[in-house]
Chains A and B, each alone.
Chain A
Amino acid sequence: MTPLRRSSTSHVAIAGAAEAQVGQALPGLSAADVQAEAARKALGDAGLTTADVDGLFASSTQLPWASVNLGEDLGIRPRYTDSTMVGGGSPLSHLLHARAAIAAGLCEVALIAYGSTQRSVGRAGASVQERDPWEAPYAPPLPIAAYALAASRHMHEYGTTPEQLAEVAVAARRWAQRRPGAWSTKDLTIEDVLAAPRVCDPFGVRDCCLVTDGGGALVVTSLERARTLRRPPVVLLGAGEAHWHRHVSSMPDLTTTAAVDSGARAFAEAGLTPADVQCCQVYDAFTITPILFLEDLGFCAKGEGGAFVSGGRIAPGGALPVNTNGGGLSYAHPGMYGLLLLVEAVRQIREEGRDVVLGHGNGGVLSAQATVLLGSEAAAS
Chain B
Amino acid sequence: MDRSPADVFAEHARRGELAYQVDDEGRPVFRPRVGLEAWRVSAGLGTVYATTVARPRDGEPYNVALVDLDEGFRMMSRVRGIAPEEVAIGMRVRLAWEDEVPVFEEETAPRQSSRLRLQD
Contacts and interface: CB of A to CB of B under 8 A. Distances in A.
A145 B89 contact: no
Interface in B73-107: 74-78, 85, 89-90, 101
B62 A139 contact: yes
B52 A149 contact: yes
B interface majority secondary structure: strand
A149 B53 CA distance: 9
Interface in B29-84: 30-32, 49-56, 62, 64-66, 74-78
A135 B102 CA distance: 11
A258 to B, nearest CB: 17
B8 interface: no
A198 interface: yes
Contacts of B56: 141
B66 A248 contact: yes
A22 B17 CA distance: 51
Given A149-B66, A152-B51, A249-B31, A135 B76 contact: yes
A250 interface: yes
A140 B75 CA distance: 13
B118 interface: no
A307 interface: no
A318 B31 CA distance: 43
B64 A140 contact: yes
A8 B111 CA distance: 68
A76 interface: no
Interface residues of A, number: 25
Interface in A248-283: 248-250, 254
B62 A149 contact: no
A194 to B, nearest CB: 15
Contacts of B74: 249
Contact of A140 (B32, B76, B85): B76
Counting chain B CB atoms within 10 Å of each CB, the highest count among A138, A148, A200, A254 belongs to A138
Contacts of A163: none
A247 interface: yes
A138 B64 contact: yes
Contacts of B78: 138
A200 B52 contact: yes
A13 B56 CA distance: 45
B102 to A, nearest CB: 8
Interface string A151-173: 01100100000000000000000
Nearest to A151: B52
A149 B51 contact: yes
Given A134-B75, A249-B30, 18 more contacts: A134-B32, A135-B76, A138-B64, A138-B76, A139-B62, A139-B64, A140-B64, A141-B54, A149-B50, A149-B65, A149-B66, A150-B50, A152-B50, A152-B52, A156-B89, A201-B53, A201-B85, A254-B50
